Amino acid sequence: MKINLFKHSTIFRHVLSTSVAIVLSVVVSSCANLGNALNQKGITTSDLDKPNTVVYLTRHAEKQPTKIKDPELSAKGEETAKRLATYLQNSHLDVIYSTPFKRTRNTAKAVASQQDKDITELFLPAHEMARLITDMHSGQTILVVGHSNTTPALITQLGVSDKIEIAEDQFGELFIVTLNKGSVVSFKRVAY
């Protein structure tokens, strides 16, 4: 049976326009429901446009075996620092933080040189450093070079629930915390 669309075009247009109207009504209703659900959780639609804050954290590289309080990196530590720079070469860091010790500064130095960034030296308690990151660096990408005790403490203060421990002989690990509006979106641990 052949159907003449011209003969039935009024019926066809009516069915088509009714179908489109129903689909649009469902879409608009769903968007309104999504907006209400987000608002109940304290998230506004403008928050959805905010970029994530990415925080790279690492312990300093291997230090020279010495009894002095502020040792340099060993040859192996220099290689570890270069691997960190290679790993982060496409990260486009906004700021690099280091504690005021040779081993942390020298770990960050290759990254800073590669990305043409200064190293900002700070030695704050973990809760203050976390507040600085969330308050001052929203939407930015940050590297923090610390120690076997300060790095896990800062990760915890940023909101990561995983228990992190760094052994005295453990080097070359990067912890990546992604935040949005101060809340953890993702966390991963990688070797470099």
Instruction: Provide the CB-side half-sphere exposure for 75 (13 A, CA).
Output: 0
Task: Give the mean pLDDT of 126-144.
Answer: 97
Averaged pLDDT of the chain: 85
Strand order from edge to edge, sheet including 173-180: 119-121, 95-98, 141-146, 53-59, 173-180, 183-191
* Whole-angstrom distance, CA of residue 50 vs CA of residue 14: 42
d(CA 90, CA 86): 8
- For the cut 60, the answer to whether the pLDDT of residue 23 exceeds it is no
Sign of CA dihedral 56, 78, 123, 151: positive
Record the tokens describing residue 177, joined without a space.
């915390």
Helix (H) or strand (E) holding 132: helix 126-136
| Residue 54 phi, psi dihedral angles, 5° rounding | -115, 125
Residue 175 has pLDDT above 80, yes or no: yes
pTM for this predicted structure: 0.75
How many CA atoms does the CB half-sphere of 164 hold within 13 Å?
30
> Between 131 and 2, whose confidence is greater?
131
Q: Specify the DSSP class assigned to residue 145.
A: E
DSSP one-letter string for 10-37: HHHHHHHHHHHHHHHHHHHHHHHHHHHH
Contact 123, 144 (CB under 8 A): no
Q: How confident is the model at residue 42 (pLDDT cuts 50, 70, 90)?
A: very low
